[in-house]
């Protein structure tokens, strides 16, 4: 086996295929020693793996030795080649195809230059190098100006860099279907609290204002946002709940709308989301 070809078992499939496919295309070759067509296809794919110099990983699975993997992915005949990207099965073919057709299959699935730049950018971002990520995303956007995924990635990094107005403008420019992406909703929720980091430093002053005048809903809302910025979600939700109970019309229903933004940040499975959704529903009825 070379550096671009690995033998995969049930124990290593998650690591070598699912996780590795976040970094590059992974082709999984389901084969068996008794399979004649497999012996014809294998040298073709191995040759191409070397020719493409690591742009994809060839993961070989002996279907006789690893029947549970074959069953999980519905392998009914071999050779069967399945392509994975970002942890998902994206394409496949069955049978021993000639080299030209296998090459076309691979070339069609390999990421574009813009996609490679995007992935490099998000790796840099994941390593805490947000400024470098923006530079790489700018290059990727220049190659594919209409790529919505690049634009969403760029908005996420801009929020981290406290460039909220630019991020908001990017999200506003997305077409309707892209704007419905759950990730976009999450970024919009982040933007709701983007200006609250500096306020968080003055939380004690806001706490004093609310203590002296519980009816000061402006202070209460600012304090709630400051708590969110400091990851203090429960006291934030308590204040937002109080705003909603006292005055639904305040700030164009700011209490309820801000609570929904907090729910989006926390996710549906968070216990605070479940608890305060019920409290909010009771308050509105």
Catalytic residue among 17, 25, 28, 35: 35
CB 261 within 8 A of CB 247: no
**Triad 210, 212, 218: Cα angle to 5°:** 35
Catalytic residue among 8, 26, 38, 159: 38
3-state helix, strand, coil in the chain (%, to 5): 65, 10, 25
Q: Which residues have a Cβ under 8 Å from the Cβ of 84 and sit 6 or more positions away?
A: 17, 18, 21, 25, 26, 27, 28, 90
Rounded Cα distance, 236 and 245, in Å: 14
**Triad 88, 93, 97: Cα angle to 5°:** 145
| Catalytic-residue membership of 32 | no
| Catalytic-residue membership of 35 | yes
Rounded Cα distance, 242 and 248, in Å: 10
Rounded Cα distance, 243 and 253, in Å: 9
CB 77 within 8 A of CB 45: no
Three-class SS of 183-219: HHHHHHHHHHCHHHHHHHCCHHHHHHHHHHCCCCHHH
Task: Classify burial at 198, counting beta carbons within 10 Å of its beta carbon; exposed 0-12, middle 13-18, buried 19 or more.
Answer: exposed
Active site residues: 35, 38
């Amino acid at each position: 086996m070379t550096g671009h070809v690995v033998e995969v078992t049930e124990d290593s499939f998650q690591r070598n295929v699912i996780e590795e496919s976040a970094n590059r295309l992974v082709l999984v070759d389901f084969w068996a020693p008794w399979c004649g067509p497999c012996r014809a296809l294998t040298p073709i794919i191995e040759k191409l793996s070397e020719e493409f110099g690591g742009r994809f990983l060839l993961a070989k699975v002996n279907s006789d030795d690893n029947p549970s993997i074959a069953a999980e992915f519905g392998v009914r005949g071999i050779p069967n080649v399945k392509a994975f990207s970002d942890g998902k099965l994206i394409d496949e073919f069955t049978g021993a195809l000639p080299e030209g057709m296998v090459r076309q299959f691979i070339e069609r699935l390999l990421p574009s230059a813009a996609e490679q730049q995007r992935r490099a950018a998000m790796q840099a971002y994941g390593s805490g190098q947000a400024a470098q990520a923006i530079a790489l995303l700018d290059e990727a956007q220049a190659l594919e100006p209409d790529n919505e995924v690049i634009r969403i990635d760029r908005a996420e990094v801009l929020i981290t860099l406290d460039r909220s107005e630019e991020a908001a403008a990017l999200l506003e420019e997305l077409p309707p279907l892209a704007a419905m992406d759950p990730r976009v909703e999450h970024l919009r929720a982040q933007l709701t609290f983007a200006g609250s980091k500096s306020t968080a430093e003055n939380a004690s002053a806001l706490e004093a204002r609310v203590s002296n005048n519980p009816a000061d809903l402006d202070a209460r809302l600012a304090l709630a946002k400051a708590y969110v910025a400091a990851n203090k979600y429960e006291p934030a939700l308590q204040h937002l709940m109080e705003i909603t109970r006292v005055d639904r019309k305040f700030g164009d229903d700011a209490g309820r709308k801000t609570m929904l933004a907090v729910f989006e940040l926390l996710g549906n499975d968070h216990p605070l989301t479940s608890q305060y959704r019920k409290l909010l529903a009771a308050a509105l009825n």
